[in-house]
């Protein structure tokens, strides 16, 4: 008897091999059993020749995303905020922390199948070795979870567009996956769920954006070279949801009525876990429209704040440039004078400025553009709904 109790101690070896960020082709080899099963041989895309054409989400991932969006999360740590002169003004919009997480799966035959996901703590900006993501993945690998990150999910209240942090993470995933443009971003718009609507969309980086992400720079030159605006940053992908058999059986038990006959109708609550709801019919326009207006105003505030920052930095750069050129010119004149007088010359100042102010990254601006547009679109949709309801 005591040996059984003693046997509870971990007899499984805890040896974890750190493989760092493995290449996708080797991941595929490790995941499948010893040889590829017959049906997969034509489909597993080892050379990554096909672009991702559509995304298939598992219902497990879907439910986990929903659950994460309803968690009460602490505000993000300060190192994720854009480094600027002042912190952006606190708005109602920015008081909701965005929920980010990593998607795991495999792409087969042009369809990206997402099998699992996990949540990331706020403040994570990379997926490299020794990051939270890497450590969690080594644990998950032991329970036969697919361990290749294929993308990021984001659950946000800002109108269904990506945020700067998510784009940075997305480029990290791209790098980890070999940079072939296969990383996907799934955005869940939590601001719409108050009206009973669901909005989950899948994107991948647009072509121009992919170039910029590879370089890791988002300043003006790269923007114009690749023609990046908020509408070309991401290109949408069709999204479907599948359920494995067990889960669909479970889901059907939620709506199936119980086998016992209904004895008391006035007993109110039905015995069905998910009774049909009629919430879309309620006309909440007076309250919800103000919400949307408020959100749009907030995002415009953030946008103008960021625009001010960028303008300030641009002016600073211009000032420094002018000052430096002036210094160079003065030094040259000095040297010419001294040459005439036959004295030794001062060393000439190099053309390049030492430690210039860096060109501001325009990524935040683009994302804010996108969020304002998304919110405005939602506002229009809500207004349209209100119109339809009034005319019912």
Partner 1 sequence: MSLDTSSSAIHLNLPPTSTSQLRPPTLITVHPSVVASILTHHSRRPTEADASPRVIGTLMGSRSDNGQEVDVRACFAVPHKEDENQIAVDMPFQQGMMQLLGKTGAKESIVGWYATHPTLNAYSALIQNYFSGETSPHPSIHLTIDTELDPSGKGLGVKGWVSTQLGLSNKPENCAFLPVPVVIKYAESERAALDLLTTAAPTPSPSLPPLPTLSASLGQLSELIDQCLAYVQKVNSGEQSPDPEVGRYLLEGLGRWSSTKEGTEDEGGIKAGLQDTLTVSYLSNLVRSQIELSGRLALLQQAAAQ
- For partner 1, the closer CB: 58 or 309: 58
Q: Which of residues 278-297 bind partner 1 (CB under 8 A)?
A: 278-281, 285-286, 289, 292-293, 296
Residue 229 CB, nearest approach to partner 1 (Å): 3
Candidates 22-30, 40-48, 133-141, 320-328: pick the segment binding partner 1 (CB under 8 A): 133-141
Dist CA 287 CA 13 (whole Å): 58
The answer to whether residue 201 forms part of the interface with partner 1 (CB under 8 A) is: yes
Q: Which of residues 5-64 bind partner 1 (CB under 8 A)?
A: 5, 7-12, 14, 57-60, 62-64
Candidates 131-139, 166-174, 343-351, 353-361: pick the segment binding partner 1 (CB under 8 A): 131-139
- For partner 1, the closer CB: 25 or 240: 240
- For partner 1, the closer CB: 38 or 344: 38
Give percent helix, percent strand, percent coil of the chain, each to the nearest 5.
45, 15, 40
- Residue 388: both structure tokens together: 């339809």
Q: List, in sequence order, the alpha helices (H) in 105-203.
A: 132-141, 164-176
Q: How many CA atoms lie within 13 A of 298 on its CB side?
A: 20
**Helices and strands: H and E segment counts in the chain:** 10, 8
- For partner 1, the closer CB: 113 or 197: 197
The answer to whether residue 266 forms part of the interface with partner 1 (CB under 8 A) is: yes
| Binding mask of the shown chain, residues 217 to 236, with x at each position contacting partner 1 by CB under 8 A | ---xx-xx--xxxxx-----
Residue 328 CB, nearest approach to partner 1 (Å): 21
Dist CA 79 CA 56 (whole Å): 34
Q: Report the candidate in 167, 163, 178 with the shortest Cα–Cα distance to residue 213.
A: 167
- For partner 1, the closer CB: 96 or 324: 96
- Residue 337: both structure tokens together: 């004078």
Tally Cβ neighbours within 10 Å of residue 62: 21
Q: Which of residues 303-322 bind partner 1 (CB under 8 A)?
A: none
Q: Which of residues 234-263 bind partner 1 (CB under 8 A)?
A: 238-255, 258-260
DSSP bridge partners of 104? 116, 149
- For partner 1, the closer CB: 238 or 345: 238
Residue 103 CB, nearest approach to partner 1 (Å): 14
**SS3 for 244?**
coil
User: CA dihedral defined by 284, 286, 287, 288, rounded to 10 degrees?
Assistant: 70
Sheet hosting strand 111-119, strand order edge to edge:
234-237, 200-205, 184-189, 149-156, 99-108, 111-119, 54-58, 239-242
- For partner 1, the closer CB: 4 or 78: 4
């Amino acid at each position: 008897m005591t040996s059984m109790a003693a046997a509870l101690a971990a007899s499984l070896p805890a040896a974890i091999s750190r493989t760092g960020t493995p290449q996708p082709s080797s991941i595929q080899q490790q995941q499948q059993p010893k040889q590829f099963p017959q049906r997969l041989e034509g489909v597993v895309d080892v050379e990554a020749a096909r672009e991702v054409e559509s995304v298939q989400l598992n219902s497990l991932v879907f439910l986990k995303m929903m659950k994460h969006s309803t968690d009460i999360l602490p505000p993000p740590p300060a190192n994720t905020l854009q480094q600027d002169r002042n912190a952006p003004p606190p708005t109602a919009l920015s008081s909701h922390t965005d929920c980010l997480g990593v998607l795991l799966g495999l792409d087969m035959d042009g369809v990206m199948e997402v099998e699992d996901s996990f949540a990331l703590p706020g403040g994570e900006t990379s997926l490299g070795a020794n990051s939270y993501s890497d450590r969690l993945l080594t644990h998950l690998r032991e329970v036969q979870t697919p361990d290749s990150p294929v993308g990021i999910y984001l659950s946000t209240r800002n109108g269904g567009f990506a945020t700067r942090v998510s784009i940075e993470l997305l480029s990290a995933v791209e790098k980890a996956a070999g940079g072939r443009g296969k990383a996907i971003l799934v955005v869940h718009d939590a601001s719409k769920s108050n009206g009973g609507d669901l909005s989950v969309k899948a994107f991948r980086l647009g072509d121009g954006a992919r170039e910029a992400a590879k370089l890791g720079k988002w300043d003006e030159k790269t923007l114009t070279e690749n023609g990046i605006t908020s509408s070309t940053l991401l290109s949408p992908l069709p999204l479907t949801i599948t359920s494995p058999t067990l889960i669909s059986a479970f889901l059907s038990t939620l709506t199936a009525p119980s086998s016992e006959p209904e004895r008391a109708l006035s007993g109110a609550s039905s015995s069905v876990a998910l009774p049909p709801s009629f919430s879309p019919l309620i006309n909440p326009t007076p309250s919800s429209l103000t919400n949307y207006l408020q959100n749009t105003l907030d995002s415009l505030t953030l946008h103008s704040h960021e625009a001010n920052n960028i303008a300030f930095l641009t002016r600073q750069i211009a000032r420094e440039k002018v000052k430096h050129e002036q210094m160079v010119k003065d030094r040259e004149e000095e040297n010419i004078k001294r040459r005439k007088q036959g004295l030794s010359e001062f060393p000439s100042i190099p053309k390049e400025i030492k430690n210039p102010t860096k060109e501001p990254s325009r990524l935040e601006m683009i994302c804010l553009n996108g969020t304002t547009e998304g919110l405005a679109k939602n506002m229009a949709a809500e207004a349209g709904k209100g119109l339809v309801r009034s005319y019912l």
